[in-house]
């Protein structure tokens, strides 16, 4: 039977009468920055986090009243409330038996409190939804479509390792957490590196469990007069090679049992509730989504061909530990994801962003304007502005004083959509030399993201007298196996290319 299938993990029992409602929250985060996210949760919510074995996820418990603060976390992409977790779920070898166990599991889960948390979260989202509808009509949205940065982002390549789902009578499309126009964004599957992807089958599918409509109100529905029949979908995310079933089959059968249990109506696109079934080897987590779209979209309205996710930008900035009054430079800012995130979270630093591409500088400036408008709408009494300047410049000849910068944070060209691998062999060492020149000897630091690791290692060996590698974080960027390097400036004097002042 299902209750003997595995040891239950996180997922609190129903709260006693009068007790405060608590929630175990699951959060997807940029792969490699799980510890950063856990530190942010501890710092801002006072809760300890557990990092999942399925990379790119953390779990923490908070009172339900803290949901607004949870949504303001800078390091998380998507949020869900955990219904229950099984840390060592024993799947049957026979496919029919394994799927029957998943069906039976639906009736045995404690849905009541997680659905209360979902209802509370839903009430918080109503104002945001109105703003979102308004933004769809904005010129910023129209430019986003015409910029050409959305041409089927790297996440579309994720189909390479999908299971055979075309034969099944179910619909398969990117889930709401995926970022199709964000080739520089960490994939929503979080935690499956490129090498692992060859061995694992990890695919998100949205399954309409049945075309039949439920007519009765299920648990967690409102009961004003005639109760509303909720619409739902099931999203299955499966990783591991020892399962006898596909993600499609698990989502279909689990979804059918959810529909039968609650008498909800299955609807893939206009759904009220998204039930998540996450299966990673023998770890099974059932949850209910709390975010409709990834929180990393918060800053960017004008996209380019390589727009970095704001959550990854936050992780990179936090890695270099900005202090008040620090001067932080992004010499290859693109659409401005890093400096805008920095100005929003570290307003007591001064941020300078630049790029050699005039179109990129324009997009970054437009994104700053969008942020200012958003700030004005929050506090109409004053438009405070942001401590950020954007300049067009040559990365190898920066118009900045020698030793005047505390931190350099940038997303270096991978040599795929921007530039080329061949050009990187000359560009990388020249960039590192110039960054070394402007950074303060002894205390300066740099956090650099690149997928061209071989070229970067060679370039770093050429400038080893001015930069020391302190830490490397391996990340998954749009399906690419990339690295974030934390470098520390030595006391050695850097050679000056020409006198600036």
What's the confidence (pLDDT) of residue 215?
36
For 217, residues 6+ apart whose C-beta sits below 8 A from its C-beta are 223, 227, 228, 229, 230, 263
Determine whether 186 is exposed, middle or buried from the number of CB atoms within 10 Å of its CB (0-12, 13-18, 19+): buried
What's the confidence (pLDDT) of residue 299?
65
Identify the structural domains of the chain with CATH numbers, from first to last.
Answer: 2-124+186-296 (3.30.2130.30), 304-489 (3.40.50.150)
Residue 216 tokens, joined: 């009765």
| DSSP assignment letter at 155 | G
**Strand duo 265-266 + 467-477: pairing:** unpaired
Please check whether residue 452 is in contact with residue 10, taking contact to mean a CB–CB distance below 8 angstroms. no
Please check whether residue 474 is in contact with residue 193, taking contact to mean a CB–CB distance below 8 angstroms. yes
Please check whether residue 363 is in contact with residue 377, taking contact to mean a CB–CB distance below 8 angstroms. no
What's the confidence (pLDDT) of residue 290?
96
How far apart are alpha carbons 233 and 265 in whole angstroms? 9
Which helix (H) or strand (E) element contains residue 466?
none
Please check whether residue 91 is in contact with residue 243, taking contact to mean a CB–CB distance below 8 angstroms. yes
What's the confidence (pLDDT) of residue 494?
81
* HEC assignment per residue over 46-62: CCCEEECCCCCEEEEEE
Query: What would you report as the CA-atom Rg of the chain, rounded to the nearest whole angstrom?
Result: 24
Taking the CA atoms of residue 279, residue 163, residue 263 and residue 110 in that order, the dihedral angle to the nearest 10 degrees is 0
What's the confidence (pLDDT) of residue 384?
63
- At 69 the three-state DSSP class reads helix
How far apart are alpha carbons 442 and 440 in whole angstroms? 6
* Per-residue pLDDT of the chain in tens (501 residues, 90 and over written 9): 443 344 444 445 555 554 689 999 999 999 999 999 999 999 999 999 999 887 899 999 999 999 999 999 999 999 999 999 999 999 999 999 999 999 999 999 999 999 999 999 988 876 555 555 554 444 443 333 333 333 333 333 333 333 333 222 333 333 333 333 333 332 333 333 333 333 333 334 444 443 333 333 344 444 444 567 899 999 999 988 889 999 999 999 999 999 999 999 999 999 999 999 999 999 999 999 999 888 766 766 656 555 789 999 999 999 999 999 999 999 999 889 999 999 999 999 999 999 999 999 999 999 888 878 777 766 544 456 789 999 999 999 999 999 999 999 999 986 544 555 667 888 999 999 999 999 999 999 999 999 889 999 999 999 999 999 999 999 988 788 999 999 999 999 887 655 443
For 201-232, what is each residue's pLDDT tens digit? 333 444 444 333 333 334 444 444 456 789 99
How far apart are alpha carbons 488 and 447 in whole angstroms? 9
Which helix (H) or strand (E) element contains residue 418?
none
Residue 202 tokens, joined: 């990890």
Half-sphere exposure of 491 (CA within 13 A, CB side): 0
What's the confidence (pLDDT) of residue 437?
96
How far apart are alpha carbons 403 and 251 in whole angstroms? 56
How far apart are alpha carbons 486 and 8 in whole angstroms? 39
């Amino acid at each position: 039977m299902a209750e003997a299938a595995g040891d239950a993990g996180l997922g609190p029992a129903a709260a006693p009468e009068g007790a405060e409602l608590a929630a175990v929250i699951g959060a997807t985060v940029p792969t490699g920055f799980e510890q950063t996210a856990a530190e942010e949760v501890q710092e801002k919510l006072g809760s300890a986090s557990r990092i999942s074995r399925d990379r790119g996820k953390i779990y923490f418990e908070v009172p339900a009243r803290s949901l607004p603060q949870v949504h303001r976390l800078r390091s998380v992409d998507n949020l869900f409330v955990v219904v229950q977790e099984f840390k060592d779920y024993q799947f049957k070898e026979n496919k029919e038996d394994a799927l029957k166990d998943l069906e039976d599991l639906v009736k045995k889960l404690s849905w009541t409190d997680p659905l209360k948390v979902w209802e509370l979260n839903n009430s918080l989202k109503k104002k945001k939804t109105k703003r979102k509808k308004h933004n769809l009509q904005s010129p910023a949205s129209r430019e986003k479509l015409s910029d050409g940065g959305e041409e089927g982002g790297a996440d579309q390549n994720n189909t390479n390792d999908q299971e055979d789902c075309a034969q099944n009578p179910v619909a398969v499309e990117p889930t709401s957490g995926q970022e199709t126009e964000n080739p520089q964004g960490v994939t929503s599957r979080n935690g499956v590196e490129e090498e692992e992807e060859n061995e694992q089958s990890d695919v998100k599918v949205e399954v309409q469990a049945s075309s039949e409509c439920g007519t009765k109100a299920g648990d967690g529905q409102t009961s004003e007069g005639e109760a509303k029949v909720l619409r739902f979908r099931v999203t299955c995310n499966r990783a591991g090679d020892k399962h006898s079933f596909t993600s499609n089959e698990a989502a279909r059968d689990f979804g059918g049992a959810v529909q039968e249990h609650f008498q909800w109506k299955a609807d893939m696109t206009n759904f009220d509730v998204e039930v998540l079934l996450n299966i990673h080897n023998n770890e099974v987590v059932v949850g209910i989504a709390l975010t409709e779209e990834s929180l990393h979209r918060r800053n960017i309205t004008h996209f380019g061909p390589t727009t970095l996710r704001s959550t990854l930008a936050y992780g990179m900035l936090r890695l270099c530990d900005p202090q008040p009054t620090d001067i932080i430079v992004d010499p290859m800012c693109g659409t401005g994801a890093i400096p805008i995130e920095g100005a929003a979270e570290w307003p007591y630093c001064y941020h300078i962003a630049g790029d050699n591409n005039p179109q990129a500088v324009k997009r970054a400036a437009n994104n700053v304007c969008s942020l200012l408008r958003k700030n004005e709408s929050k506090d109409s009494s004053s438009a405070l502005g942001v401590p950020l300047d954007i300049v067009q410049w040559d990365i190898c000849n920066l118009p900045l004083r020698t030793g005047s910068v505390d931190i350099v944070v940038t997303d270096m060209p991978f040599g795929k959509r921007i530039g080329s691998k061949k050009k990187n062999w000359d560009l990388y060492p020249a960039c590192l030399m110039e960054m070394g020149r402007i950074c303060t000897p002894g205390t300066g630091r740099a956090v650099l993201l690149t997928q061209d690791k071989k070229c970067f290692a060679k370039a770093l060996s050429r400038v080893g007298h001015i930069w020391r590698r302190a830490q490397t974080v391996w990340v998954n960027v749009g399906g690419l196996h990339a690295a974030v390097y934390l470098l520390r400036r030595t006391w050695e004097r850097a050679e000056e290319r020409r006198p600036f002042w």
